Amino acid sequence: MESGLIHIYCGDGKGKTTAAVGLALRCAGAGGMVLICQFLKDGSSGEIGLLEKTENITVMPAPENVKFSFKMSGEEKTAAAAYYTKRFDAAVKAAQGYDMLVFDEILYAVDSGFVPLENVLLFLKNKPAAAEVVMTGRAPAPELCAAADYITEMKKIKHPFDRGIKARKRIEF
């Protein structure tokens, strides 16, 4: 049996989730079973509807009305930490039987204190042996980088947001 490896797509550039989704589609297209769990997103981005209809891909339902962490009160941050820790634990519990696990924005969820780093490291250490694990987001913890087999950094050189152009449907979400 092949050993599954750990991927990180990180950085301040566009394309982290897109790369993870592409890898998930490749896995599913080759007959692999994929579980996708998003953090700090409300499940409304364009790829989610299609992924939910794709054979061999399971998308864990996302909450509605997700706020950016910098817009949350202390009480909201505490509630978010409890919610996202539970969400991560549910994904870990469901991991058996999947060939690939995609944890979208988990790196930023860890950096923001919403998912304990220790929980993620423990999972990576004890993950199903053949499962490929993909983690995306900004600011990966050095310990997660040390555990990874692949690290790809998306670096922003130029972005329309810098000129005041907001995220556009079908392109950024």
In terms of Cα–Cα distance, which of 173, 15, 17, 7 is closest to 104? 17
pLDDT at residue number 73: 85
Q: Which residues of the chain have pLDDT under 70?
A: 1
In a domain, 1, yes or no: no
CATH number of the CATH domain containing 103 = 3.40.50.300
Total count of domains within the chain: 1
In a domain, 69, yes or no: yes
In a domain, 24, yes or no: yes
In terms of Cα–Cα distance, which of 131, 117, 111, 122 is closest to 6? 131
pLDDT at residue number 39: 95
Distance CA 139, CA 67 (A): 19
**Single pTM value for the model:** 0.92
Amino acid at 19: A
Show the domain range for 75.
Answer: 6-155
